[in-house]
Amino acid sequence: VCTNLTLMDKHQPAVTMCNETIKNLSNRYGNRKVQALVADKISAMPDQKFDLVVGNPPHWNWTEPPYQALGGIDRIALDAGWAIHNEFFQNISNYLTDNAVILLIEHRLSTGPGTFANVIKQHGLKITKFFHTKSLPNFWFLELTKEIE
């Protein structure tokens, strides 16, 4: 499916588990380069180019989620002022091949296809598709590509 795979998360325990999985896959995937990195923003990635970027960014632009009782969920759920999204859209083009595709999953109760339209366009990207699936009724998917001039 791919020759190189880079995984990124801002939560060290998640990356630690990815690295444990990668160690156990070495015999099955031969010479493919697989790496997991700890980073809280896309611009912290090493210089490389991707054909496909799949992301599950935090879904809520709230100071406190309504489900605070879950404890620690803010680490993965909150994107205050959409700072994480904005940084991603501002910098991701530096990491894309010309024909790359970005696929993001978003929550339907916090965003819609137009939520990020201006910042996407401002940074040389374009929305090519957005869609829902029956299997994940509370989520929608956003497909983006580079705006080629």
Q: For residue range 106-116, list pLDDT tens digits in order.
A: 988 888 888 99
Give the pLDDT band of residue 124 (cuts 50, 70, 90).
Answer: very high
**Which of these, 95, 104, 93, 92, lies nearest to 129 by C-alpha position?**
104
**Which of these, 114, 100, 123, 109, lies nearest to 48 by C-alpha position?**
100
DSSP label of 78: B
Determine the pLDDT at residue 16: 93
pLDDT digits (tens, 9 = 90+) for 73-98: 666 778 888 999 999 999 999 999 99
